[in-house]
Amino acid sequence: MKALGLIELPNLADAIEAVDVMLKTADVKFLTWEKKLGGRLVTIIVQGAVSSVTEAVESAKSSAKGNIVASAVIANPHEETMKLVARSAAKYRFHEEIPIAPW
C-alpha cells in the first residue's frame, strides 16, 4: 500500500536535514516540498509503503534540530490528494539530473 509522509519545519535548513534523514532511514521517495513565508515554514512530502513512510517520518521527528510544526502519514491517499501533490511538484524540477561535483 502506498502512503504519503509529511513533515513541516520552521526553516529551510532544518527541512533539508529532515529530508536527508528520511531518505537515509527508510525506502521512501522524495516527492516535493512547499515553502511558505519566504522559507520560514517548509513542508517535506515523501512517498512509499506505509511502514517505510511511518519510519521515515518518526526518524525525522526524533532527530530534527528545529521544532516540528506538524507531521502526518496518509495511507492510501485519494487521487485528488495526489493531484495536489503533483501540482506542487510541478513547480519544481526535482527529478531532473543535477550534476554534482565529485567529493
pTM of the model: 0.84
Q: For residue 103, name the pLDDT band (cuts at 50, 70, 90).
A: very low
Average the pLDDT over 61-77 and give the result. 88
pLDDT for res 101: 45
Average the pLDDT over 86-95 and give the result. 76
Closest CA to 85 of 27, 31, 41, 42: 31
pLDDT for res 64: 75
Is the model more confident about 89 or about 54?
54
Give, in order, the Cα–Cα distances in Å from 63 to each of 19, 28, 60, 90, 92. 11, 17, 5, 29, 26
Fold annotation for 2-90:
Alpha-Beta Plaits (3.30.70)
Which of 39-43, 55-59, 84-88, 97-101 holds the top average pLDDT?
55-59
Answer for the pair 69, 6: CB distance below 8 angstroms, yes or no. no
Answer for the pair 47, 77: CB distance below 8 angstroms, yes or no. no
State percent of the chain over pLDDT 70. Answer: 85
